[in-house]
Amino acid sequence: MPRLKIEDLQKIKEKHKADFALREGGYRAKVTVHMGTCGIAAGARNVMTALMDEIAKANRSDVIVTTSGCAGLCAREPLATVEIMNQSPVKYCDLSDEKIREIFKEHILGGNPVEKYALVMGSETTY
């Protein structure tokens, strides 16, 4: 590491924001990908990979991704739930690589839920 100046301390902090958003909480949006056996069989892994890729490309540290088990609606897998802080959660179904990328841009970054892919909006909160 080169010698630091005072302003470098802040820069380093910024650089590690993504990891610490995970550890400390304080994120803006949370996406839960449902990864039960059915979800994985239907392609939830690709959805997850595409989502991680988008987040990395957009360089966002305020979006976190978690996984959960089967959502109970196996026919409509892959499923994902998007929760923006202070808004009701939206569940998306029949997801694909392209669809999740679109949702990321429109809903997670833009703030507008993508109704055409949505299964329910303002659904039951499980947490």
Counting contacts by CB under 8 A, is residue 27 touching other proteins?
A: yes
Counting contacts by CB under 8 A, is residue 9 touching other proteins?
A: yes
Pattern of binders to other proteins over 55-74, x per CB under 8 A? Answer: xx--x----xxxxxx-----
With contacts defined by CB under 8 A, how many residues of the chain interact with other proteins? 40
Continuous H helices in 1-127: 6-15, 17-24, 37-42, 44-58, 97-103
* Residues whose CB falls within 8 Å of the CB of residue 72, separated by 6 or more in sequence, listed in order: none
Find the helix packing angle between 6-15 and 17-24, rounded to 10°. 60
Counting contacts by CB under 8 A, is residue 23 touching other proteins?
A: yes
Counting contacts by CB under 8 A, is residue 48 touching other proteins?
A: yes
Give the Cα separation of 12 and 99 in Å (integer): 34
Which chain residues interact with other proteins by CB under 8 A?
1-6, 9, 12-13, 15-25, 27, 30, 32-37, 40, 48, 52, 55-56, 59, 64-69
